[in-house]
Amino acid sequence: MRIDVVSIFPEYLAALDLSLIGKARRENVLDLNVHDLRDYTHDRHRTVDDTPYGGGAGMVMKPEPWAAALGRIAVESPVDKTGGNKPILIVPSPAGAVFTQEMAYELAEAPHLAFACGRYEGIDERVIEFAAESFDVRPVSIGDYVLNGGEVAVLAMVEAIGRLIPGVVGNPESLVEESHSDGLLEYPVYTKPASWEGHEVPEVLLSGNHGKIARFRRTKQLERTAVRRPDLIVQLDASKLNRHDRDALWHSGFAIVDGKVVAKEPVDPA
């Protein structure tokens, strides 16, 4: 997969040299290129921002450097444009659609992703229109809070997407069992010693009974998801819940009514 990131703080992206993503880059599984937006300016001050039309606080990113940077990335794209295929341009923004594990799985299949990191009050909206001629443009947020720029969001998204590319995560089984892969949070994990500072590893995990262990873990997933993320519980497909699951959910405050999982007491929305 090819990934391009455009930023006025390319040093922010240095963390992508580390750990599994860094290893994937060195092994050419991931062709990740970070571009300094200021390299696409032509004035002595390497200006990337200007005052907003219509007034208001702060500065807006000028369109010309973005057009030059994105134009270059589009031209270099490995995507076969016959048949209307385009590389994907993710524009990190608190005003975007929320990034999810499902989106990470979809994006991990793409041959070419680009990320346009805005700073200040944002990028001139006409850049989005211009980019749509060469890219499938997706404004994306990583959650309901505000960052100063897109760089930290790109670190999160590239890590979430990159680890799903075959050959990036050492053990593909760790992708199957993790939080969100089945709509539930991960079960708790333990290692030696079995007794530590008066805290014990749950007895069943020492039993060697694999059926009982699987049941224990599934129950823990349901219990902690019910407490921490009741919004995920009510999205479960009730037809995929067995008798044990339904029992665990009942004890965590949920019932199955008309084939739907519902809270016995009202749930706080998301």
Q: Which residues bind ligand 6GU (CB under 6 A)?
A: 92-94, 140-143, 145-147, 149-150, 153
**Using CA atoms, how far apart are residues 262 and 246, in angstroms rounded to an integer?**
11
Instruction: Output the smallest distance, CB 52 to ligand 6GU, in A.
Output: 17
Instruction: Report, in Å, the least distance between residue 158 CB and ligand 6GU.
Output: 12
Report in angstroms how near the CB of residue 94 gets to ligand 6GU at its nearest. 4
Distance of closest approach, residue 116 Cβ to ligand 6GU, in angstroms: 11
Nearer to ligand 6GU, 134 or 141 (CB): 141
Pairing of strands 254-257, 260-263: antiparallel
Query: Which residue's CB is nearer to ligand 6GU, number 136 or number 182?
Result: 136
**Which own/partner contact pairs does 134-137 have at CB distance under 8 Å and 24+ positions apart?**
134/70, 134/71, 134/74, 134/77, 134/86, 134/87, 135/70, 135/74, 135/86, 135/87, 135/88, 135/89, 136/86, 136/87, 136/88, 136/89, 137/89, 137/91
Cα–Cα distances in angstroms (integers) from residue 213 to residues 194, 205, 207, 225, 267, in the given order: 16, 6, 8, 18, 30
Q: Cβ 239 to ligand 6GU, closest distance in Å?
A: 34
Nearer to ligand 6GU, 37 or 248 (CB): 37
How far does the chain reach from its first CA to its final CA, in angstroms? 33
Quote the least distance from Cβ 213 to ligand 6GU, whole Å.
Answer: 38
Find the helix or strand (DSSP H, E) in which 230 lies: helix 230-233
Considering beta carbons, is residue 87 or 92 the nearer one to ligand 6GU? Answer: 92
User: What is the rounded distance in angstroms from the CA atom of residue 20 to the CA atom of residue 32?
Assistant: 13
Q: Which is nearer to ligand 6GU, 149 or 253 (CB)?
A: 149
Nearer to ligand 6GU, 10 or 149 (CB): 149
